[in-house]
Amino acid sequence: MKRTSFIYAIAFMLFAAFSSRAQTAPADFFAGKWEILVVGTPDGDSKMVADLVRNGGVLSGQLINQKDSTAEKIPVTVTESGNKLALAFFTQGYDVTIDLEKVDDDHLKGSLMNMFETTAKRMK
């Protein structure tokens, strides 16, 4: 009887240790490379890559022009709020924002400047 109780106690402690560890593991959903598609701009559809990296708990990144790999990379200011992400950057004399929201594990959906439909797909 004592041996059975001891085995159950050990099993319970192991279960509790692994369960609490799994809950505290940080999941960094937004970090990584995202292919962004902006539909319907005056210059046509636009594709770019957002390369987002977390340093010291802060998410930052840069935008890369897919059509011209030699073009200068544009620094991006990133704001996170739950399942939402806001990218802000300066280009061609304008302050531009892209607001995105999580759709599933590999897709985001939102808008550029609240005017143009924007989607993002995780690059693997």
Mean pLDDT of the 42-47 span: 91
Which residue has tokens 């990218």? 87
Confidence of residue 2 (pLDDT cuts 50, 70, 90): low
Mean pLDDT of the 20-36 span: 70
- Written as six digits, the tokens of 61 are 């990144």
3-state secondary structure of 123: coil
Is 85 contained in some domain?
yes
As a whole number of angstroms, the distance between CA 74 and CA 66 comes to 12
Is 2 contained in some domain?
no
Confidence of residue 24 (pLDDT cuts 50, 70, 90): very low
For residue 33, the model assigns a pLDDT of: 96
Is 17 contained in some domain?
no
Is 1 contained in some domain?
no
CA 98 to each of CA 74, 78, 89: distance values in angstroms, whole numbers, following the listed order: 14, 10, 9
Is 7 contained in some domain?
no
Q: Work out how many domains the chain is built from and give that number.
A: 1
The residue segments making up the domain with residue 106 are 32-122
Is 41 contained in some domain?
yes
Mean pLDDT of the 13-38 span: 67
CATH of the domain at 81: 2.40.128.120
Is 6 contained in some domain?
no
Is 84 contained in some domain?
yes
| Amino acid sitting at position 107 | H
For 25, half-sphere exposure in the C-beta direction (CA atoms, 13 angstrom radius) is 8
